[in-house]
Amino acid sequence: MGYVSASGSKAATNICVVTENRLVRESLTRMLQKRADFCVGSGNNLVEVERLADGEWACDVLLTDGFGERQEKEALQNFSRRAARVKVVLFGMAADEPLFLEAVRSGVCGYLLNDASAAEIVAAVRAVCQGEAACSPKLCMMLMRYVAEQCRCAGSSVRNEVPLLPPLTARQLELVELVAEGMTNKEIAARLNLSEFTVKNHLRRIMKQTQAEDRHEVVRMVRGENAAPL
């Protein structure tokens, strides 16, 4: 795979843009090639690019929106294992917490939402090359809360000699906290600007994940302590 820069000479950062959308691929490639410190190549899909990781591939950053289908996720995970030195930045992504956590576990360094500007994409590429992560402040805070909650759950499980709870998303943990405050489904729905039906579905899913009998037990399991009466 060849790379092209604005000056035509070797640049400090080799970037591969991978997306099946030809218009997006060509637009991003042209935009990045205008930066003198970037050399840019492109590919159609991650399955093809994955094969390149087996050989000597002079790529610093993989910029892709391929993280929707199962095959794409598997290809990205395989690529990250084979080419660990390559920084992966996802763009055009939804603000979906479970998807974001899955992407983090897959080894990505950047997660850009679908409203990211051209300047934000360039800044993200430069940030990951400097050893930084690139994501929205909201997703960063969610990740910090998630890690902290998992540590608390792990500590509680060790103390009580019970198995670790399955990981809950930040939204699920927020629901559990509101339940612990004694709020009804209707009150929770109003607080979070959700429908009451959506709140009920969330709580059913949480009870299924934690194998809790009711919402009261969910609170006790997540908090690792006897909750106040609801």
By CB atoms closer than 10 A (0-12, 13-18, 19+), residue 192 is middle
Give me the amino acid identity at 103: A
Model confidence, pTM? 0.61
- Locate CATH 1.10.10.10 in the chain: 143-223
Paired with 81 in beta bridges are none
Best CA proximity match to 7, nearest among 47, 44, 34, 42: 34
79-136 pLDDT per residue, tens: 777 777 889 999 999 998 889 999 998 889 999 999 999 999 999 999 999 999 999 9
User: Topology of domain 143-223, per CATH?
Assistant: Arc Repressor Mutant, subunit A (1.10.10)
Domain 4-135: give its CATH architecture: 3-Layer(aba) Sandwich (3.40)
Name the token pair of 167: 């990981």
The single-letter DSSP state of residue 18 is E
179-225 pLDDT per residue, tens: 988 899 999 999 888 899 989 998 988 888 888 888 888 888 877 64
- Locate CATH 3.40.50.2300 in the chain: 4-135
Give me the amino acid identity at 105: R
